[in-house]
Amino acid sequence: MDVGELINAGLRDYERAIELLDRGDYYDAAEKAWNAIESFRKAFLVALGVPYQKARTVSYGLPLFGRLMRALGLKKLLRRYEWFDYKLHIMGFYERLTLEDEIEFIIRRYVEPWLNRMKNVILKLRGVNISDVLEIYDKSIRLRQEVLRKSSELMEINNELAKIIHAFALRIRSRLTE
pLDDT given at position 176: 83
Grade residue 35 by pLDDT with cuts at 50, 70 and 90: very high
Q: What is the pLDDT of residues 52-84, one digit of tens each?
A: 999 999 999 999 999 999 999 999 999 999 999
CATH for the stretch 3-129:
1.20.120
Q: Where are the alpha helices (DSSP H) in the chain?
A: 3-22, 26-47, 52-55, 61-71, 75-84, 100-106, 112-125, 131-177
Return the DSSP state at 23.
T
Say whether pLDDT at 37 is over 90.
Answer: yes
Percent of the chain with pLDDT over 70: 99
Q: What is the pLDDT of residues 169-178, one digit of tens each?
A: 988 887 887 7
CB 137 within 8 A of CB 33: no
How far apart, in whole angstroms, are the C-alpha atoms of residue 40 and residue 32? 13
The single-letter code of the amino acid at 171 is R
Q: What is the pLDDT of residues 118-136, one digit of tens each?
A: 999 999 999 898 999 999 9
Q: Is the dihedral of CA 61, 130, 128, 78 positive or negative?
A: positive
Give this prediction's pTM.
Answer: 0.84
Residue 53, CB-side half-sphere exposure with 13 Å CA sphere: 0
Task: Break the chain into its structural domains and give their ranges.
Answer: 3-129, 130-178
CB 61 within 8 A of CB 129: no
Q: What is the pLDDT of residues 79-115, one digit of tens each?
A: 999 999 999 999 999 999 999 999 999 999 999 999 9
How far apart, in whole angstroms, are the C-alpha atoms of residue 48 and residue 12? 23
Return the DSSP state at 67.
H
pLDDT given at position 174: 77
Give phi and psi for 130, each to the nearest 5: -115, 30
How far apart, in whole angstroms, are the C-alpha atoms of residue 57 and residue 3? 16
Of the listed ranges 14-18, 21-25, 43-47, 149-153, the least confidently predicted one is: 149-153
pLDDT given at position 33: 98
How far apart, in whole angstroms, are the C-alpha atoms of residue 125 and residue 45? 9
